[in-house]
Amino acid sequence: MFSTPDLCDDHPDDVRVLEPILRTFGGREAFFGQAVTVSCFEDNSRVKDLAGTPGEGRVIVVDGGGSVRRALLGDIIAQTAADNGWSGIVIHGAVRDVEILRTIDLGVQALAPIPVRSEKLGVGEVGVDVSFGGLTVAAGDWVYGDANGVVVSARALHE
């Protein structure tokens, strides 16, 4: 098992640390994997699409523009992601159904809860660099999350 403090201590030149802006909502506290990035605003269409594909232990990293007006993840999409082998979802935005998210074997970190669902307009981009919380995440970067926070590296730091 890993911890983000240990990764920071053992690999100080390799890790980039996300500012402490996110809260843990998922049933899996510690998670890691290669990033699949999404940029969207108040529309979780691309997040839903990705959740329905084989996750292969990867992490969906979503830049939702920091909006907490609409949830970009709820229980149905989270369960789909878990069922398809995604390790976690990091969201610069809001989530809903938090009582159920806690029971799903998926790492989920996001800004805040909101009961309002997202729009479904089919907009957003997958595979683009996303920037929030003081760092930029590129598709393929390695993301590690636990109760201490989220760190990112260009290479794998833990197997």
- Report domain extents, the chain: 4-124+142-153
CA distance 98 to 126: 25
- This prediction has a pTM of 0.97
Q: What is the pLDDT of residues 10-31, one digit of tens each?
A: 999 999 999 999 999 999 999 9
User: Exposed/middle/buried for 53, CB within 10 Å: 0-12, 13-18, 19+?
Assistant: middle
Q: What is the pLDDT of residues 82-122, one digit of tens each?
A: 999 999 999 999 999 999 999 999 999 999 999 999 999 99
* Topology annotation, domain 4-124+142-153: Glucose Oxidase; domain 1 (3.50.30)
